[in-house]
Amino acid sequence: MKSNSPRYPLAPFVKFLARGSRKYAWSCLKNCVKILIGRKTFFHDDELFFRQYLLHVFRVRRIERINSPGLDSEGPASQALFIVHAMNFAASSGLRYVHTPFALIPHADRPMNDWAASWEAHFNLGAGEIPCTSPRHKVVSYCSNFTNLQLCFGWWGRKEELDKGFRALIPEIRCKYYANKSRRFNSDLTVAVHIRRGDVSPSQNSHYFTSTESVLRTVKLVKSILDRYRMKHRIGVYSEGDSGDFESFHSECGAELFINADPIWTMQELIEADVLVMAKGCFSYYSALISDGVKIFHSSREAFLWESASVEEFIVRELDGSFDAAEFDRQLERVIAARAQVGSP
């Protein structure tokens, strides 16, 4: 899927060159002063990319490798998604992806080195990849430059092609995940319900918030279908905050509540569930990419950038919590058949 007909929209490209030249020139001036006073020089990733791109265009030093070292403000699933997008962009553009392990991830519940290493082992995205040993000025950081990379490598306006490549990578990403762990078989069919709280509320990051009433309606619909199939099942609700806020799921659906649990364990529970009711955010989204169960996604009208390559089998949940029950039936039958095959002697 390598680009053969690059597109360089004039206005964004001129803006990139003008802004990049000003910023790079100013940074060079500041670094000259730092040298004079004995301080260490530093260029930001976008400044490095501007220089890298000029050298690439003038054939002084071609851009050949990209990595995704992570953005300190992004959580583990967001950083993992950047890595997958970097892999896809590299493969689509004739470049080579080189892997940089996680280093800084927010909300650590243990020493940062242990926290980052635990997530690195959990996602296992570096399995089979070339480690990044190049200095910063010889490798492009995808997570810091993805918009400019798409612009400069001719992918502007060709998002659907990149999305197709992203979807094609999912089986490989799933294999990496299970390369250092075993799949679990659930004796009872499991439903994992992820409800995003903690950093979201109706007044804080409200675009990521889904009301309890909406999620409860979804769970009730799922339970009614499973009851119709006479499937023995367990429902787990995974979230943050006060367990009392989720009591309705226990009293009305018999759900178990797992509130403020270990996040790595929680993600594994979401991935390995037979039915996953997703929340809005990278944590649910990445879990769904790895999961081979039934995935119920929130309304596509509220999709975000990182969800643009959503796989077709996601079932869309509307704002009121309803979803296509017939499609759920079809996908549930697939899961039941797979469970019967795994569980047979």
Look at residue 185 in the predicted model and tell me its pLDDT: 83
First CA to last CA distance, the chain: 43
Distance (Å, whole) CA 337 – CA 198 = 37
- Write down the pLDDT at residue 300: 53
Mean pLDDT of the chain, nearest integer: 91
Packing angle, helices 112-123 and 159-178, rounded to 10: 100
State how far the Cα of 186 lies from the Cα of 201, in Å rounded to an integer.
33
pLDDT value of position 345: 44
The candidate with the shortest Cα–Cα distance to 332, out of 276, 261, 264, is 276
C-alpha separations of 229 from 222, 274, 336 in Å: 11, 14, 10
The Cα–Cα gap between 50 and 17 comes to 8
**Which pLDDT score is estimated for 209?**
86
Architecture of domain 189-343: 3-Layer(aba) Sandwich (3.40)
pTM: 0.92
Give all strands of the β-sheet with 65-67 in edge-to-edge order.
Answer: 130-131, 96-99, 65-67, 140-141
SS3 (DSSP) at 73: coil
Rounded-to-integer distance, Cα 329 and Cα 90, Å? 38
Residue 96: which H helix or E strand, with range?
strand 96-99
What number of other Cβ atoms are within 10 A of residue 316's Cβ?
Answer: 16
Give the 3-state secondary structure of residue 236: strand
Residue 70 and residue 95 in contact, taking contact as beta carbons nearer than 8 Å: no
Q: What is the pLDDT of residue 218?
A: 97
pLDDT over 80 (residue 8): no
**pLDDT (0 to 100) of residue 6:** 54
Does the structure show a pLDDT above 60 at 301? no
Please tell me the distance from the alpha carbon of residue 316 to that of residue 186, in angstroms, as a whole number: 25
Residues 89, 67 contacting (CB under 8 angstroms) = no
pLDDT category, 77, cuts 50, 70, 90?
very high
3-state secondary structure string across 290-340: HCCCEEEEECHHHCCHHHCCCCCCCEEECCCCCECHHHHHHHHHHHHHHHH
Q: Which of 1-10, 36-45, 243-252, 257-266 has the lowest mean pLDDT?
A: 1-10
Residues comprising the chain, all counted? 345
For residues 313 and 329, give the distance between their C-alpha atoms in angstroms, rounded to a whole number: 13
Residue in 122, 162, 174 with CA at minimum distance from that of residue 291: 174
- pLDDT range class, residue 304, cuts 50, 70, 90: low
Query: Model confidence over 100-156: pLDDT tens digits?
Result: 999 999 989 999 999 999 999 999 999 999 999 999 999 999 999 999 999 999 998
pLDDT at res. 224? 97
What would the pLDDT profile of 145-184 be if each residue is shown by its tens digit? 999 999 999 998 888 899 899 999 999 999 999 999 988 8
Q: Encode pLDDT of 283-297 as tens digits.
A: 999 999 999 999 999
Instruction: Compute CA distances 31 → 20, 51, 55, whole Å.
Output: 16, 15, 20
Residues 6+ apart with CB under 8 A from 104: 70, 72, 112, 116
pLDDT score recorded for residue 1 = 46
Residue 113 burial by Cβ neighbours in a 10 Å radius (0-12, 13-18, 19+) = exposed
Q: Give the pLDDT mean for 13-40.
A: 95
Domain spans in the chain, listed from the N-terminal domain onward: 10-178, 189-343
Contacts of 94 (CB under 8 A, 6+ apart): 2
Q: What is the mean pLDDT of residues 297-322?
A: 72
71 pLDDT tier (thresholds 50, 70, 90): very high
Question: To the nearest whole percent, how much of the chain has pLDDT over 70?
Answer: 93
pLDDT at 149: 95
Q: Which two tokens stand for residue 190?
A: 């499991």
Cα–Cα distance measured from residue 194 to residue 284, given in angstroms and rounded to the nearest whole number:
7
**Can you tell me the mean pLDDT for 320-331?**
95
Distance of CA 222 to the CA centre of its chain: 25
256 backbone dihedrals φ, ψ, rounded to 5°: -85, 140
Summarised one tens digit per residue, pLDDT across range 190-214 is 999 999 998 888 888 888 889 999 9
Q: What is the pLDDT of residue 3?
A: 46
